[in-house]
Every structure is written in C-alpha cells, then in structure tokens.
Amino acid sequence: MTNRVKFTKMHGAGNDYIYVNTLKYTIEDPESFAKKWSCYRTGIGSDGLVLIGSSSVADFSMRIFNADGSEAMMCGNASRCIGKYVFEEGLTKKTVLTLETLSGIKELFLSVQDGIVTEVTVDMGNPKLEEVTLADGSKDILVYQAVSAGNYTFKGTAVSMGNPHLVIFVDAVEEIDLAKIGPLFEYHPYFPQRVNVEFAQIISKKEVRMRVWERGSGITSACGTGACATAVAAVINQKTDREVKIVMDGGPLTIKWDSATQKVFMTGDAVKVYEGELSL
Ligand SMILES: N[C@H](CCC[C@H](N)C(=O)O)C(=O)O
C-alpha cells in the first residue's frame, strides 16, 4: 500500500525547505527522504527537509535535515517558516510560541496581518565562540585568525549558533568563487563535524553583504544561523553595530545582538510557495 504524504514548500529569504507535519505523517527515514526529495531534477528540489512535530517541553518541535541527509542542530530560516505554518494551519492561535530544537528551545514572535504571518522574530539564544580542533587534538577559539584550505588563506572567526559557522570577512564578496572555495573550508580539519562557511563584506556599520556555503547543502540563498553568526563576528571584530542588516542572495535578515541579555534576535520573512503530495 503506497503511503501518501502531504508536504509544504516554504522559504525564508530564499532558503527553501520541504516541510512535513509529523503530527499527521510519519517519515521513517528522514535522512534518505531529505536526500531523495531535495534533488532539483528528480525530486521536489530544496535545501533540505524540515519535520514539524509535537513537543513535551515547547509548543512544537523541529528537526532539520540538510540536502545531503545530515541532521543539523538548528535552522534559523526554517524556524520562522514553522511559525508561519503552525499559525496559518490553525495548529495554534498564539503569536508568541516556543519551538524545541536540538540546540534548545527557541521563542518565536509572529507578525500577523489579516490572519497571514508576514514576518517572524526568533530569539536565537546566546552565541558562543566555536571551538576548533587543532592538529594535536587540542581545542582553541578562532577570532580573526588565519585559516587555510587548498591554496586559500583567510582571516576567520568561528561562531556557534547551536550549529557551527566560520565567518570570513573579505573586501569583495562577489569575487569569491563560493562553489570552489566553500567545500574546501566546509571540510576543514578544524571542524570534525564540518562547518557552515560565510563570506562577508562590510557595507557600513549597519549593513553587511554575505554569501554562504552551507554544511550539507552547498550554496544557499540565505542562512539564518549564518546571518546571526556573521553579525556576532562583525561585532566581536568591531566592524558593525549590534543591530545590523545582513543582505544575502535571497534577501535581508535583521539581526540584533542584545547587549543586556547577550541574546541574538533574527527578524525576517517566511514564505509559503506551494503544497504537494508524495507517495513514499
Ligand atoms: N546547514 C546548516 C543547517 C541549516 C541552517 C540554515 N539553513 C539556517 O537558516 O540557519 C547546518 O548544517 O548547520
């Protein structure tokens, strides 16, 4: 008997995922489902798969799988889309709700106009400097220090937003051959679990242009946790203010690293593209 599964295609700043409501549908093998259906030619086409579920400690839960099937701890753009989904599907009437993730419980603040969620702010929690693993197995932090891969050496800053990010500031981000250089640094030995790689160009104290090579998905139009990591790295390196617009290929996100609470707040869109049905 074929198993029919309804899915919703959504994106945040162009970072697109396949969303399945596991309150209704069971996905036995999400890793292979993510790989198969993320393919743009033979599948649906997406940056990965997001499972929306119940939770005993929050209003809902999220699991996120990259296009290569690897499961990540957190996804900023997907958390906003989940807020939109659960409100517009009538699963909640709350406009402030909590989402359980592998990197803790996140709080979502929905902006609603005529029943439609137009924007979401997520409390992404406190950033940390991501520890890197040196050749002798010892750990260290990386703040604007040389990191080399292939024939390339850049000054990198490693930041964790629940998932790992290597933020590299450059003078001209459009000149970076992301498809060639991204994977070299994704697999850098500093990061045994691999890393998301952001190349960032400072436009002003209030704006940064960033392009991203995501761990497990490659070049994406935007990365929510990556935008947060970029803002944190920019503040740590005295390049921007604590509230900054991160402009990515798919659009902007506004990031605020609150000095009183040390929490990072991410604000941006959440867009429903279409609904579909699959036979598993
Ligand atoms: N590729 C990321 C997960 C997706 C994060 C990104 N799409 C976001 O919006 O935060 C990782 O493996 O950590």
Q: What is the pLDDT of residues 23-32, one digit of tens each?
A: 999 999 999 9
What are the phi and psi torsion angles at 88 (to 5°)? -75, -20
Q: Is 151 annotated as a binding residue?
A: no
The reported pLDDT for the residue numbered 276 is 97
Q: Which of 10, 51, 74, 253 to mutate for ligand 1's pocket (most ligand atoms within 8 Å of CB)?
A: 74
Q: Is the CB of 38 under 6 A from ligand 1?
A: no
Q: Is the CB of 101 under 6 A from ligand 1?
A: no
Structure tokens at 141: 């932090």
Q: What's at 256, amino acid-wise? A: K
Report the candidate in 12, 16, 55, 59 with the shortest Cα–Cα distance to residue 34: 16
217 Cα nearest atom in ligand 1: 1
Percent above pLDDT 70 for the chain? 99
- Summarize pLDDT for 151-210 with one digit per residue, the tens: 999 999 999 999 999 999 999 999 999 999 999 999 999 999 999 999 999 999 999 999
Compute, in degrees rounded to 10, the torsion defined by CA atoms 108, 111, 115, 117: -70
- Summarize pLDDT for 71-97 with one digit per residue, the tens: 999 999 999 999 999 999 999 999 999
Q: What's at 13, amino acid-wise? A: A
Given pLDDT bands bounded at 50, 70 and 90, which one contains residue 280? confident
Question: H or E element: which one contains 77?
Answer: helix 76-88
Q: Is the CB of 160 under 6 A from ligand 1?
A: no
Q: Is 3 annotated as a binding residue?
A: no
Q: What's at 175, amino acid-wise? A: E
Burial class of 57 by CB neighbour count within 10 A (0 to 12, 13 to 18, 19+): exposed
Q: Is the CB of 72 under 6 A from ligand 1?
A: yes
Given a cut of 90, whether residue 269 has pLDDT beyond it is yes
Q: Cα of 71 to ligand 1 centre, how many Å?
A: 9
The counts of H helices and E strands in the chain are 4, 21
Give the C-alpha separation, 57 to 121, whole Å.
20
Over residues 19-40, the mean pLDDT reads 96
Q: Is the CB of 221 under 6 A from ligand 1?
A: no
164 Cα nearest atom in ligand 1: 13
- For the chain, what is the mean pLDDT? 97
The reported pLDDT for the residue numbered 2 is 61
The reported pLDDT for the residue numbered 147 is 96
Over residues 251-263, the mean pLDDT reads 98
pTM, two decimals, is 0.97
Give the C-alpha separation, 20 to 28, whole Å.
12
Strands (E), 94-190: 96-101, 104-113, 116-123, 128-129, 132-133, 139-140, 145-149, 152-160, 164-169
Given a cut of 70, whether residue 1 has pLDDT beyond it is no
Which residues make Cβ contacts (< 8 Å) with residue 197, sequence separation at least 6?
Answer: 165, 166, 168, 181, 182, 185, 186, 212, 213, 214, 215
Residues designated catalytic: 75, 223
The reported pLDDT for the residue numbered 3 is 83
Could you count the other beta carbons within 10 Å of the beta carbon of residue 63?
A: 20
* Residue of the CA atom closest to atom 5 of ligand 1: 75
Q: What's at 60, amino acid-wise? A: F
8 A C-beta contact, residue 225 and residue 166: no
Burial class of 244 by CB neighbour count within 10 A (0 to 12, 13 to 18, 19+): buried
3-class SS of residue 197: strand
Q: Between helices 76-88 and 224-236, what is the axis angle to 10°?
A: 130
Rg value, the chain, Cα: 18
The reported pLDDT for the residue numbered 279 is 82
* DSSP assignment letter at 27: -
